[in-house]
Amino acid sequence: MRLRINKTAQENARILLPKLLDKYFKAGRKAADGKQSARKLHGFRLATKQFRYSLELFRPCYGPSLERKLEALSSLQGALGKLSDYASIRATLAGDKALAAKLERASETKLKEFQKQWKAFDADGEHKRWLRYLEKGR
């Protein structure tokens, strides 16, 4: 994301954030398809973090209405963080089959939670609502 120094913060937000949004939704749809490795899901967690932080940077351009959107992203990030934690523990303690089985079940549950959250986040028309919101600003 490159800010344009000849533009105001609001103008930069209207130019940059819709592009980030499109990339984010595309990546999210792929991440939630159930076919991604723990490594790929971790990459999407980082993308979620980057998108959230980018929105936070422009918080003054959107005001309090942005908070609900940030909370949804934070929730997605949390579920993805747990999946990453489970994968790291599994790799570290690979010899413990009982623990690996428990972690596998926990991962499956957390993946379903993430997919449910993503489905709500990307419900019909949500991408367009986000786009209108980001293009409009305050």
- pLDDT averaged over 10-residue windows placed end to end, the chain, 138 residues: 88 94 98 94 97 95 93 96 94 88 94 97 96 87
| pLDDT computed for residue 39 by the predictor | 93
User: Model pTM?
Assistant: 0.91
| pLDDT computed for residue 2 by the predictor | 86
Helical packing angle, 38-57 and 66-92, nearest 10°: 150
What is the phi/psi pair of residue 49, to 5°? Answer: -60, -45
| pLDDT computed for residue 138 by the predictor | 63
| pLDDT computed for residue 9 by the predictor | 92
